[in-house]
Chain A
Amino acid sequence: MKKSFRDFLDDLEKAGELRRVKKPVDLRDVSALVAQSREAALFETLAEYPGWRLAGGLVSTRKRLALAMGSSENEVAMRFEASLDRPIEPILVGNAPCQEVVLEGEDADLTSIPYPLMHARDGGPYISATCVVSKDPEYGRNVGSYRLMYRTPKETGIDLVSPSDMRFYYQRQLDRGKPLEIAVAIGVHPFEMLAASYKAPIDMDEYWIAGGLHGAPLALVKCRSVDLEVPADAELVLEGELLPIGWSADEGPFGEFSHITGDVKWNPIFRVKCITHRYQPIFYFLQMPWENDWLSAPVTEAAGLRALRNASIKPVAIKAPVGSCGYWTLIASIRKRPGEGKNALLALLSVAEVKLAIVTDDDINIHDPDDLDWALTFRVQANRDVIIVEGARGKHVDPSVRAWELGKGGLPTTAKLGIDATIPEGIPKKFYRRLEYYGRDRVKLEDYL
């Protein structure tokens, strides 16, 4: 059965992972409050916004991500990858909870929604938990996740600097001098967020991937003012268009998922035409950086698994460490045949903007930092087992790519590093035989206590 955002809140509460806050809170303070909460937070009374609630920090830990996925913590990548093999077509419905309230014309006012201020150096209040849908006449529907910075009651900035399908769609419309229609769904199940984050092939509809994750079709509803469809059970939807102005409006800084306060960027502007929401809506904000990182990890890991399998390599385990924001590093153990340590590196380094890949044999527990260090120490010769690829696609939020030196709308490049920590070809495995304690299986300490 397809679960909703509210179902996920119920799941969190049943697991003791949700804290309800009943006292009225100011939207200028919610981010700092969520940062202090060990549990996800649901603010039930918002000062100045009667009828609204606000949730944050829902997937700030791998435990809560696993709860959303319905899997163990070490199986989230496999779970995500498996769903990619069984996408489910969404269905279209006529009536939708997300359109219980419709605000058009002057009533479509962004100050009517609880727009929170998140970080000390942000360029304005932000909406961070978005599923943004757009369409291209040739390539079809696309769903991604993009932050929105408040500008005026009718306009937001939108971060569109990184390469993405929607950036491509926008560029095509810009070349025609036309706006790009978009719709922004807020308050959807983490499966929709994960699907939106996945870099699917351009002709693949991410709503199908979300259906695969749910094991049931996503119910979509037609938007009121644009020719797009959004999840029917979303809490809030913003409809409108990206103005054909190119990368010319200031946007940011924002507390990025890289844990860094970003820079001012030059981006397009989103103009809202219509706002729809549920009765008693729950505004969801993604608490940076942890929620973003934990949502990135399974997406990066699943992409790594796919890349390995496409290269005819047998992966055993994979990890996108949270220290790399679940995005820039991939560590995989494989069942290796000769040469496949290097092939695996090439495959992993092809994933998005991954800039460090480490490959081990399947006897290494990649989730144990000491075991990984051991493999790196004794199975690597730097002159033979390290590869560097220069000039690959990079990401603006990584300061080492010097994005500030680029012009408006420019795209950075990065160098990528691969470390083959598998047992080198030609070294007999006996040299890696682990020490064993004599009598290990015969004696027990408790017999002597």
Chain B
Amino acid sequence: MSPLAETILRELHAEPRQFAELVDAHRDAKWRDFLRAWGEVRAADVLGRDEDGRYLIKSA
């Protein structure tokens, strides 16, 4: 997993986030790199959603 994907995972472990909040937190990353990292997070199959559409890490 790329360092950016690992960072996103850590942020989601800390608290649920809107997708745009994750984007805001990584505006310095290239958009394409961010999308690739997001794809890695998605592929890890650990994401859930709360009632406001925030992404969160599913409890095991």
Q: How far is the CA of A371 from the CA of B54 in the complex (A)?
A: 46
Interface size for A (C-beta < 8 A) is 27
Pick from A26, A152, A252: contact of B39, CB below 8 A.
A152
* Given contact pairs A28-B27, A111-B32, A153 touches B18 in the complex (Cβ within 8 A): no
* Cβ contact within 8 Å between B35 and A120: no
Contact of B43 among A121, A123, A152 (CB under 8 A): A152
Task: Judge whether A250 and B30 touch: CB under 8 Å.
Answer: no
Q: How many whole Å from B42's CB to the nearest CB in chain A? A: 5
Residues of B within 8 A of A150 (CB): 35, 38-39
Pick the residue among A48, A49, A125, A151 that contacts B42 (CB under 8 A): A151
B32–A117 contact, CB under 8 A? no
State whether the Cβ of A97 lies closer than 8 Å to any Cβ in chain B.
no
User: Which residues of A lie under 8 Å from residue B27 when comparing CB positions?
Assistant: 28
- Docked-complex contact A48 and B30, CB < 8 angstroms: yes
**Is A124 interfacial (CB 8 A cutoff)?**
yes
Q: For the complex formed, measure the closest distance between the CB of B46 and the CB atoms of chain A, giving whole angstroms.
A: 13
Q: Which residues of B contact A253 (CB under 8 A)?
A: 53
By the criterion CB–CB under 8 Å, are B31 and A26 in contact?
A: yes
Please report the C-alpha to C-alpha distance between residue A111 and residue B30 in the assembled complex, in whole angstroms. Answer: 11
Residue of B nearest to A250 (CB): B49
Nearest to B50 among chain A residues (CB) is A264
- A-side contacts of B47, CB under 8 Å: 250
Cβ A27 vs Cβ B31 within 8 A:
yes
Judge whether B39 and A111 touch: CB under 8 Å: yes
Task: Sort A-B residue pairs by CB-CB distance and give the 8 closest, nearest first.
Answer: A152-B39, A253-B53, A111-B35, A264-B49, A111-B32, A151-B42, A152-B42, A264-B53
A interface residues (Cβ-Cβ under 8 A, vs B):
26-28, 47-49, 110-111, 115, 117, 120-125, 150-155, 250, 252-253, 263-264
